[in-house]
Structure 1
Amino acid sequence: MLDINHILVVLDNEHPEQIALDRALWLARSLEADLTLLTNTYEAYCEDDSSLDQETRTRVKQALVDKSEKWLNSFLPEGENNINISAEVHWQKHLHDAVIESMRHKDFDLVIKGTQPHSLLDRIFTHTDWNLLRHCPAPVMLVKSAKPWTHNRVLASVDATSGDTGHQIINDNILSFAEHLSDHFDTDLHLANSYPLVAVAFAMVPEVTAPDDIQKYITEQHEEACAALARKYNIQPDHVHIGEGDADTVIAGIAKDIDADVVVVGTVGREGIAGVLIGNTAELLVDKVACDVIVIKPSDGVKPDAD
């Protein structure tokens, strides 16, 4: 059984619909996991440097927390006796900080949040979703639609030929998680990999001549590496997909072609200006696919199955 026992559901009060909740309830029922619903509330005038007196600050703060608790409780399903569901309101300015605070006190195996299309401003100001993908100490599922998974296909996206230790760890974490997910829900597990178009790279440096058959050599490298991973994780040969081009574009195309229900992808959390201008593949992919995305980091190994 997939060892996801504790699920944290992040509800954003700025979203008109809480599409993550339906997915979380479905997973919790199937996995026999408990759910914690979480949101944040905050007003600067309740802080110590406010001009309001202490008693007023305390009363206003409590009123805001009570309001958020009532809002969270409105999502609790009636007659749901088979799932242990609790709710948490955190006094935090940013929603992702509320998640991090909660995880300091309880170990969650999966964090689920609804997501909407992101703008360049979201990247510049480090949107809540990006902070979760980069810093949350657990796998994060970003839900794109409340519609149920109907095609029974899990797509694991890897960097098959990377010699970097971090990417190799992520590859194993991605495929372990995807394999567990696929086994539990009896779905088809697919593997996706992209490789660069070498001709484009050499065109940018015309003074350097591309070696003969370099593209063929690179293609064969990726095919061999993907075949080895497929054997290790019991993926059928016809479920291995290799494409040429930028990873986010290639993976998004494959996900669409096979009607994937969810893409499992990794991130090493690029920071700073590079993260804003270039972006992480996982972050770019979120806005290019219509299905859910689960993002895995090097520390997000799959726990052993429960006895």
Structure 2
Amino acid sequence: MLDINHILVVLDQSDTEQPGLDRALWLARLLNADITLLTNAWDTYGDHSSQLTGETRDGIRAALTSRAEQWLSSFTESDDRNGLRLATEVHWQKHLHDAAIESMRNNDFDLVIKSTHKHGILDRIFSHTDWNLMRHCPAPVLMVKSAAPWRHSRILASIDATSADRGHQLINDNILSFAEHLADHFSTDLHIANAYPLVALAFSMVPEVTAPDNIQEFVTEQHQEATQQWADKFNVHKDHIHIAEGDTDEVISDIAHRIEADLVVVGTVGREGLSGVLIGNTAEALVDKVHCDVLVIKPLDGVRPDIE
């Protein structure tokens, strides 16, 4: 059984709105979960490498930490939060994602939630908080786009149905396990989506090689059969299976828009280095393309899949 009992909400002090907090409060009430609100405090003059005297340095650090604690406390004092189990944490870290990961080392959080917004290439190059959380956080990460409630009762699980790679199979199982659990708990419809490549495009890039007859039909049937197997395992209704050709991020965002999904559940293997910056993971691309929340799952996130 997959349970969400402990939620970590990562709050950026530079954000003027906090839709991630609104979503966390809503989930906590429905799931009877506790919430920890986290932010960071840091300044070069208060850091251990500062050239200032120890007393001055410690004073700066204490003042900045206290200011951050007061900021977090402002979110816990509202009357509509009575009855919720709320805690706060301020970590002395230069980067917010490092503060979150530091907290994860000492606490058993089932879900991490953060507000997000559209990103550009420079955000990726300069190690944006959102990208690092999606890649490195040792728990599922819910990226919240809007404080608007989930009102269409549809969850879309995006998988790579035909991959024989064990890592992708683990991700598929985790994606669908989380999506099924949320769909059952909230009595929503679970949809499953799979994108497959346009083979003709691949062969057009190597004109000296002739594509076999009916190769596209073969690829399509292969993905249909594989997706159906995953759908059968998680009792996804036939009418809720979506298969289309094209780039995964484009296909999934189009399907999410068409069915008015409240949440897209997607996996990531956390591609590193320059390829991760320029190519990007599907999960990261989807966060920018869809208008709903995105739940990012990694191979070892929280469930015990039936993959050997």
- TM-score normalised by the shorter chain: which range applies? over 0.9
Identity of counterpart residues, as a percentage?
67
2:303 & 2:235 partners in 1: Cα distance? 17
Instruction: Using the TM superposition, give the Cα deviation of residue 16 of structure 1 relative to its aligned residue in structure 2, in angstroms.
Output: 1.0
Instruction: Using the TM superposition, give the Cα deviation of residue 51 of structure 1 relative to its aligned residue in structure 2, in angstroms.
Output: 2.7
**Where does residue 135 of structure 1 map in the other structure?**
136
Instruction: Using the TM superposition, give the Cα deviation of residue 110 of structure 1 relative to its aligned residue in structure 2, in angstroms.
Output: 0.1
**Where does residue 279 of structure 1 map in the other structure?**
280
Check conservation: 1:194, 1:246, Cα contact below 8 A.
yes
Instruction: Using the TM superposition, give the Cα deviation of residue 47 of structure 1 relative to its aligned residue in structure 2, in angstroms.
Output: 2.2
**Where does residue 64 of structure 1 map in the other structure?**
64
Number of aligned positions between the proteins: 304
Instruction: Using the TM superposition, give the Cα deviation of residue 59 of structure 1 relative to its aligned residue in structure 2, in angstroms.
Output: 1.1
Change (3 A) 1:303 1:106: farther
TM-score, normalised to structure 2's length?
A: 0.97
SS in 1 for 2:81: coil
Q: Deviations over 1:207-255 (max 9, x none)?
A: 1000000000000001001111111101000000001100000000000
What runs of 5+ residues in structure 2 fail to find an aligned partner? none
1:172 & 1:17 partners in 2: Cα distance? 34
SS in 1 for 2:265: strand
TM-score, normalised to structure 1's length?
A: 0.97
Check conservation: 1:40, 1:94, Cα contact below 8 A.
yes
Instruction: Using the TM superposition, give the Cα deviation of residue 2 of structure 1 relative to its aligned residue in structure 2, in angstroms.
Output: 5.0
SS in 2 for 1:275: helix
**Where does residue 36 of structure 1 map in the other structure?**
36
**Where does residue 165 of structure 2 map in the other structure?**
164
**Where does residue 182 of structure 2 map in the other structure?**
181
4+ runs deviating over 6 angstroms = none
**Where does residue 55 of structure 2 map in the other structure?**
55
Q: Partner amino acid for 1:199?
A: A
SS in 2 for 1:93: coil
Q: Partner amino acid for 2:248?
A: A
Check conservation: 2:47, 2:61, Cα contact below 8 A.
no
Change (3 A) 1:207 1:29: same
SS in 1 for 2:8: strand
Instruction: Using the TM superposition, give the Cα deviation of residue 53 of structure 1 relative to its aligned residue in structure 2, in angstroms.
Output: 1.2
Instruction: Using the TM superposition, give the Cα deviation of residue 41 of structure 1 relative to its aligned residue in structure 2, in angstroms.
Output: 0.8
1:187 & 1:121 partners in 2: Cα distance? 37
**Where does residue 96 of structure 2 map in the other structure?**
95
SS in 1 for 2:119: coil
Check conservation: 2:2, 2:302, Cα contact below 8 A.
no
SS in 1 for 2:84: coil
SS in 1 for 2:180: helix
**Where does residue 292 of structure 2 map in the other structure?**
291
Q: Mean Cα displacement is larger for which, 258-267 or 50-59?
A: 50-59
Write out aligned runs for 1:95-244 (5 A): 95-244=96-245
Check conservation: 1:2, 1:31, Cα contact below 8 A.
no
1:233 & 1:162 partners in 2: Cα distance? 18
Instruction: Using the TM superposition, give the Cα deviation of residue 83 of structure 1 relative to its aligned residue in structure 2, in angstroms.
Output: 1.5
